[in-house]
């Protein structure tokens, strides 16, 4: 049996290519482009609302999704092993029958878009992000360069 389970979880982008992130400090939701998140020029990502850089911006939805995928993945590997054992022991004095495994959980549907977020462009680094309407109309910290953007419209 393999010691490790390797599988990738794809976090869906919205129609504009943004992924949803959530600040673990204040719970603020915002969106960034994956390219910008992974860019070498971006030292750390900070929250547009509280300005604090967190270790993790994974939303609860994504976490739940990842857990469900991991569980199903583990079950399917186990089920394969059991079937193999069943096949190998068939007709022997001691045989093994794989019982019924619990059905895989329904993987929750990830909602990539939250419509209350508005596209904002940082006046400093010119990168685009999506922040809550409230922030975009007042002041937000650019998650990518850390400069505060004031809306002076
Ligand atoms: Zn925050
Ligand atoms: Zn910026």
- Tell me: the pLDDT tens digits for 18-44? 988 999 899 999 999 989 988 888 889
Domain chopping of the chain, boundaries: 19-150
> For residues 27 and 50, is the Cβ–Cβ distance under 8 A?
no
**Mean pLDDT within 52-77:** 84
**Mean pLDDT within 3-30:** 83
What is the pLDDT at residue 108?
Answer: 67
What is the pLDDT at residue 143?
Answer: 96
pLDDT digits (tens, 9 = 90+) for 105-142: 776 666 555 567 999 999 999 999 999 998 999 999 99
Q: In this model, does residue 15 exceed pLDDT 90?
A: no
- H or E stretch at 21: strand 19-22
The rounded Å distance from CA 73 to ligand 1 centre is 33
Q: In this model, does residue 92 exceed pLDDT 70?
A: yes
The rounded Å distance from CA 138 to ligand 1 centre is 16
Q: Which ligand is nearest to the CA of 30?
A: 1
Separation of first and last alpha carbons in the chain = 62
């Amino acid at each position: 049996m393999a010691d490790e389970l390797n599988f990738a979880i794809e976090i869906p982008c919205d129609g504009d290519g943004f992924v949803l992130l959530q600040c673990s400090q204040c719970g603020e939701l915002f969106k960034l482009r994956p390219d910008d998140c992974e860019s070498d020029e971006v030292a750390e990502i900070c929250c547009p609302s509280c300005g604090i850089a967190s270790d993790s911006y994974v939303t609860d939805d994504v976490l739940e999704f990842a857990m469900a995928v991991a569980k199903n993945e583990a079950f399917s590997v186990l089920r394969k092993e059991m079937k193999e054992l069943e096949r190998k022991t068939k007709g022997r004095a001691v045989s093994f029958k794989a019982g019924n495994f619990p059905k895989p959980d329904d993987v929750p549907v990830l909602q990539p878009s939250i419509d209350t977020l508005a596209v904002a462009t940082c006046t400093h680094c010119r990168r685009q992000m999506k922040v809550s309407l409230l922030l975009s109309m007042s002041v937000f910290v650019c998650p990518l360069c850390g400069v505060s953007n004031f809306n002076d419209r």
